Amino acid sequence: MIEVKDLTKRYGERVAVDNISFSVKRGEILGFLGQNGAGKTTTMKILTCFMSANGGTASVAGFDVFENPFEVKKRIGYLPETPPVYPELLVSEYLGFIADLRAIPSSEKRKKIDAVVERCQLGGVRNRLIGNLSKGYRQRVGLAQALIHDPEVLVLDEPTVGLDPKQVTEARSLIKSFRSERTVIYSTHILSEVAATCDRIIVIDQGQIVAQEALNEMGSTGTTSRTEIVVQRRGDAVMKALTDLKGVKSAKFTTSTNNRILVEADAHEDLLAEMSKAVVTADAGLIRMSPVQHALEDYYLGLIGGGRIHDRS
């Protein structure tokens, strides 16, 4: 669905995107991970036809972004870093305006607006001025504008930045709900976010791709998550319940007498829910579950050179 080959972008002397190539399959959610200044936004602007490149090619749904920007834009919904909203408009007016820009026929306009209002949970603010909305709601309005024309491809530049934890969870679920329905590229600096949401990640550092991995294959490269589970009662039943779960690599009590179980498993939010269910079903008395250390983090920091700060701005 998205093909990028040898893409390069320079701002004067500064190379922001350095000869990168990747592809994204239809229905895939790709996490674009990198520190400040890595080149995420620049790549996204090129893919969405907001910027030219100095070299290489990029295509979306078979259309070249440089030769056929009109066809590409029709198929893409883009949420830029700063949501492109007008503070002086009501949410409903703004979405109406975007629907017109997207040339949605007037007979369908109402239906399309209602659908994004519902999907982005904007019902309560429909008749409020955008300028008076909280940051999180403005972000949702930005997402609604990206979705209104039912695009095949969504490009979301740090969609969860500045949201409170509850809104982050809601935004993640919304993004996850696009799986197999749309192709999504989604940038973030937050590692746990890609682990929770994406099928695959691309790690970009100083304009170059330093890793491309499917998340469920990353166990072998150090993306196992470790969780400590404290139970009321020791027993074989709870161990079996945990080790039987798909994605769990090992589960053991940390000593021969205590009630603390250390589980090593694929880093995946759904698996955490399954683990807690397994403990409850085994009637071990779940007291606490806590992440021990995010091994994905170590892996990531390793890739980008120990987490040094190097925005070259």
Residues 51-110 that bind ligand ATP (CB under 6 A): none
Contact 9, 54 (CB under 8 A): yes
Q: What is the C-alpha separation between 127 and 102, in angstroms, rounded?
A: 21
Q: Is 16 in the site for ligand ATP (CB under 6 A)?
A: yes
Q: Which stretch binds ligand ATP (CB under 6 A): 33-41, 55-63, 162-170, 214-222?
A: 33-41
Q: What is the C-alpha separation between 32 and 80, in angstroms, rounded?
A: 14
CA atoms within 13 A on the CB side of 17: 26
Residue 82 C-beta: closest distance to Mg ion, Å: 10
Residue 35 or 224: the one with the smaller Cβ distance to Mg ion is 35
Q: Is 40 in the site for ligand ATP (CB under 6 A)?
A: yes
Residue 38 C-beta: closest distance to ligand ATP, Å: 4
Residues 178-207 that bind ligand ATP (CB under 6 A): 189
Residue 2 or 251: the one with the smaller Cβ distance to ligand ATP is 2
Q: Which does 97 bind (CB under 5 to 8 A by kind): ligand ATP, Mg ion, none?
A: none
Q: Is 313 in the site for ligand ATP (CB under 6 A)?
A: yes
260 Cβ contact partners less than 8 Å away, ≥ 6 residues apart? 228, 229, 230, 253, 254
Residue 40 C-beta: closest distance to Mg ion, Å: 5
Q: Indicate the pairing of strand 153-157 with strand 183-188.
A: parallel
Q: Indicate the pairing of strand 76-79 with strand 153-157.
A: parallel
Give Cα separations from 177 to 27, 152, 168, 301 (angstroms): 11, 14, 14, 29
Q: What are the residues binding ligand ATP (CB under 6 A)?
A: 11, 14, 16, 34, 36-42, 189, 312-313
